[in-house]
Structure 1
Amino acid sequence: MNQKAKMLTRIFSIALSLVFGISSIAKFSGMELLHQPFREMCLSTWYVYFIAVLEMTMAIGILIKNVASMSAVGMNVIFAGMSFYFYYYQTPLYLIPTGILALMAITVAYFTHDDCVTVQGMPEKQ
């Protein structure tokens, strides 16, 4: 991976980590704005906290080299759920920032997939 790709990956990783970390903290603190979508979809309150735990885990994981790719893929699963909510319950214009964040996560996953820990073990040093 060249220097530009490394820099882009690092910037995207930090931005995604901040977005997910702040969102997770807001959900844990009980911010009504972030709990409302779950109620609109008739989901239980425990689901809000489950998603908050996943978001915090991915926010930390995307900053760690060996698990960044898996965290970025997990973020895209969360973005898929957000896209569903925005499309069916809100205005589809909210899909634009969600799509941009999803593309950032895909970029991080692509550039860091060689460093990912697999079933076979740790990645080889180059």
Structure 2
Amino acid sequence: MDQKEKRLIKVFSIILSLVFAISSIAKFSGVELLHLPFKEMSLSTWYGYFIAVLEMLMAMGIMKKNTSSISAVGMNVIFAGMSFYFYNYQTPLYLIPTGILALMAITVAYLTHDDCITAQGLPKTQ
């Protein structure tokens, strides 16, 4: 992996981590705007807090070398849920920033997949 790719991974990881950490903290703080989508989709209140826990774990995980790939994949699962909500309940224009963030997460997942801890054991060191 060259220097440009490492820099790209670092920048994308920081941006994604900040987005997820801020969203998680806002959900834990009880910001009504972030709990509204769960109510509109007839989901329980605890589901919003469950997503907030997952977001915080992924925000921390994407910053670690061994867990960044799996955290980025998890972020894309959250982005899929967000895309469903925006497409069905809001204006589809909100899909643009969600898509950009999803592409960033896909890039991080792809470029760091060799460093991820797997069932076969620890990643190979170079």
TM-score by length of 2: 0.99
Q: State the SS of the aligned residue for 1:43.
A: coil
Matched, 1:70 2:73: no
* Aligned residues with identical type, % of pairs: 79
Matched, 1:33 2:33: yes
Residues 23-80 of structure 1: CA deviation (Å, up to 9, x unaligned)? 0000000000000010000000000000000000000000000000000000000000
Q: CA RMSD in A?
A: 0.3
Query: Partners in 2 of 1:124 and 1:15 — Cα distance?
Result: 27
Tell me the equivalent position of 2:124.
124
Tell me the equivalent position of 2:82.
82
| 1:99 Cα offset (Å) | 0.0
Partner AA of 1:106 in structure 2: I
Q: Which aligned pairs between 1:73-112 and structure 2 lie closer than 5 A?
A: 73-112=73-112
- Report how many aligned residue pairs link the two structures: 126
Give unpaired runs (5+ residues) of structure 2. none
Query: Partners in 1 of 2:29 and 2:93 — Cα distance?
Result: 27
Partner AA of 2:39 in structure 1: R
Partner AA of 1:22 in structure 2: I
Q: State the SS of the aligned residue for 2:120.
A: coil
Runs of 4 or more consecutive aligned structure 1 residues displaced over 3 Å after TM superposition? none
Query: Partners in 1 of 2:18 and 2:125 — Cα distance?
Result: 29
Query: Partners in 1 of 2:119 and 2:36 — Cα distance?
Result: 39
TM-score by length of 1: 0.99
Tell me the equivalent position of 1:54.
54
Partner AA of 1:7 in structure 2: R
Q: State the SS of the aligned residue for 1:66.
A: coil
